[in-house]
Amino acid sequence: MSKTISILGSTGSIGRQTLDVAEQMGLRVAAITANSSVERIEEQVRLFKPRLAVMTDETAAKDLAVRLADTDTRVIGGFEALVEAATIPEADTVVTAVVGMVGLKPTLAAIKEKKRIALANKETLVCAGELVMDAADAAGAEIVPVDSEHSAIFQCVQGCADRREIKRLILTCSGGPFYGMTYDEVGKMTKADALKHPNWKMGPKITVDCATLMNKGLEVIEAMRLYRLPLEEVSVVIHRQSIVHSLVEYRDGAVLAQLGTPDMRLPIRYAMTYPERGVNPAEPLDLLTCPPLTFAAPDRDAFPCLRLAEEAATEGGTACAILNGANEEAVRLFLADKIGFHDIPRLVAEARAKVPVVQSPALEEILEADRAARQVVLGN
Ligand code: NDP
Ligand code: MG
């Protein structure tokens, strides 16, 4: 049970919902971080009075320090400062809610300090899942997933002492805004279309990843790393309503699922209260009024990113870091109106073809693979 938390990425979608939960639960907030959202983090500091506030953007950090001169909160800037927020001694739990691979080093640092990791930042597990899980095992640090599918699975495996009893994980996928379209129809979709998610309100990067189905691909890899399972034991099913958050099939044929309304505050709260359950003030799921639950197979031809992620997962080594680095840069270009929707899988495939894969990589080799993949995309 968490008492004091540090939030990496407090100004984002997950970060703000974590602060809602912290307020409801009466948790103390020791440190918060943002990249450049100065006004939003200033408000958060005044409300939650953390000892430390970090801005990775140095200019924004200077601005924030001036604004907070009348408070007791220390302000520091730069990427290394994220590590300081992740290792702040008074926090027992670190919520990793930054977007992208930038979360890797602070997550590893927090693990070494044996903090509980409430993990939203999936890119970290995608790029360096084996390293992160090995480090957590070695330090005895708990990793509790916040991603709704992985939280659902985490909840469904409570009480399962022998992982060999699990036959298969089934990740549900909303299908995104372009569900049902052909490859050619999807190619005509714009940034505004991609940013309209049917069920969840999230940050822009993950919203685009949901439209390409790369998000589900990243989640397949995240699940493989969290539960140390091969690709064959992690499958994906389209479930438009986002009510069944994921399922676990056991070897005796039992299939366990976790259901709920699409609200990230439930998995965030569970990551804090685990192994207990806290009180949630929100309205629970009403089976009599919720829409009929439907399931379908994903279309890997219309959405090639899912296949690209599964191929990288099979290849292993630095393949997933290359996939992720290329995807982060391609999505950034798409959000800046520099490329079209189908250029995202095209650039990811190009980076995968050009950057050699290293097996059993050390951290430096993962970071190098990430850099090389970004260069392929940016040099295009
Ligand atoms: P947002 O874009 O809403 O927020 C991202 C946060 O990270 C902000 O605080 C932002 O600061 C900060 N940030 C952005 N870039 C950098 C950087 N280069 N260095 C340091 N900090 C940075 O993202 P989300 O909250 O949607 O997603 C966060 C993570 O959680 C992602 O990995 C996502 O995949 C995962 N996730 C999100 C879900 C959701 O419902 N949103 C669901 C499941 C997983 P600033 O405001 O200053 O830009
Ligand atoms: Mg998810």
Q: Average pLDDT of 74-88? A: 97
**Does residue 344 contact residue 331 with C-beta atoms inside 8 Å?**
yes
- Please identify which residue in the block is written with the tokens 């992160």: 132
- What's this model's pTM, rounded to 2 decimal places? 0.98
**Does residue 284 contact residue 261 with C-beta atoms inside 8 Å?**
yes
How far apart are the C-alpha atoms of 4 and 25, rounded to whole Å?
A: 11
Which residue's CA lies nearest to atom 31 of ligand 1?
A: 99
Q: How far is the CA of 90 from the centre of ligand 2 (A)?
A: 29
Which residue's CA lies nearest to atom 40 of ligand 1?
A: 202
Strands (E) located in the chain:
4-8, 28-34, 52-55, 74-77, 93-96, 116-119, 143-145, 166-173, 234-238, 244-250, 255-259
Pocket test for ligand 1, best of 36, 39, 201, 206 (most atoms within 8 A of CB): 206
How far apart are the C-alpha atoms of 257 and 270, rounded to whole Å?
A: 16
Q: Are strands 244-250 and 52-55 parallel, antiparallel or unpaired?
A: unpaired
Question: Which ligand has its closest atom nearest to the C-alpha of 99?
Answer: 1
Give me the residue spans of the domains in the chain. 4-145, 152-303, 316-380
| Residue 199 beta carbon below 6 angstroms from any ligand 1 atom | no
| Residue 99 beta carbon below 6 angstroms from any ligand 1 atom | yes
Q: Which atom of ligand 1 is nearest to the CA of 121?
A: 32
Q: How far is the CA of 133 from the centre of ligand 1 (A)?
A: 22
Pocket test for ligand 1, best of 16, 75, 96, 99 (most atoms within 8 A of CB): 99
List pLDDT tens digits, range 213-239. 999 999 999 999 999 999 999 999 999
List pLDDT tens digits, range 233-283. 999 999 999 999 999 999 999 999 999 999 999 999 999 999 999 999 999
Q: Do domains 4-145 and 316-380 have the same CATH topology?
A: no
Q: Which atom of ligand 1 is nearest to the CA of 122?
A: 32
Nearest-10 crossing angle of helices 319-335, 122-139:
140
Q: Which of 302, 318, 293, 296 is nearest to 368 (CA)?
A: 318
Which residue's CA lies nearest to atom 17 of ligand 1?
A: 35
Average pLDDT, whole number, for the chain?
A: 97
How many CB atoms sit inside 10 A of residue 160's CB? 13
List pLDDT tens digits, range 105-138. 999 999 999 999 999 999 999 999 999 999 999 9
| Residue 248 beta carbon below 6 angstroms from any ligand 1 atom | no
How far apart are the C-alpha atoms of 92 and 88, rounded to whole Å?
A: 9
How far apart are the C-alpha atoms of 78 and 294, rounded to whole Å?
A: 46
Burial class (CB in 10 A: 0-12, 13-18, 19+), 265: middle
3-class secondary structure, 244: strand
Q: Which of 238, 218, 129, 127 is nearest to 175 (CA)?
A: 238
**Does residue 79 contact residue 232 with C-beta atoms inside 8 Å?**
no
How far apart are the C-alpha atoms of 143 and 132, rounded to whole Å?
A: 9
How far apart are the C-alpha atoms of 64 and 75, rounded to whole Å?
A: 7
Q: How far is the CA of 75 from the centre of ligand 2 (A)?
A: 32
Q: How far is the CA of 310 from the centre of ligand 1 (A)?
A: 24
How far apart are the C-alpha atoms of 254 and 311, rounded to whole Å?
A: 29
Which residue's CA lies nearest to atom 32 of ligand 1?
A: 121
User: What's the pLDDT at 355?
Assistant: 98
List pLDDT tens digits, range 295-328. 999 999 999 999 999 999 999 999 999 999 999 9
Radius of gyration of the chain (CA): 20
Q: Which residues pair with 95 in a beta bridge?
A: 7, 118
Q: Is the peptide bond before 275 cis (omega within 30 degrees of 0)?
A: yes
At 199, the pLDDT band (50, 70, 90 cuts) reads confident
Choosing among 3.40.640.10, 1.10.1740.10, 1.10.357.10, 1.10.10.10, the CATH entry for 316-380 is: 1.10.1740.10
The pair of three-digit structure tokens given for residue 61, joined into one six-digit string = 């950090």
Q: Which atom of ligand 1 is nearest to the CA of 124?
A: 32
**Does residue 2 contact residue 27 with C-beta atoms inside 8 Å?**
yes
Question: Which ligand has its closest atom nearest to the C-alpha of 268?
Answer: 1
At 100, the pLDDT band (50, 70, 90 cuts) reads very high
Q: How far is the CA of 245 from the centre of ligand 2 (A)?
A: 8
| Residue 123 beta carbon below 6 angstroms from any ligand 1 atom | yes
- Look up the CATH number of domain 4-145: 3.40.50.720
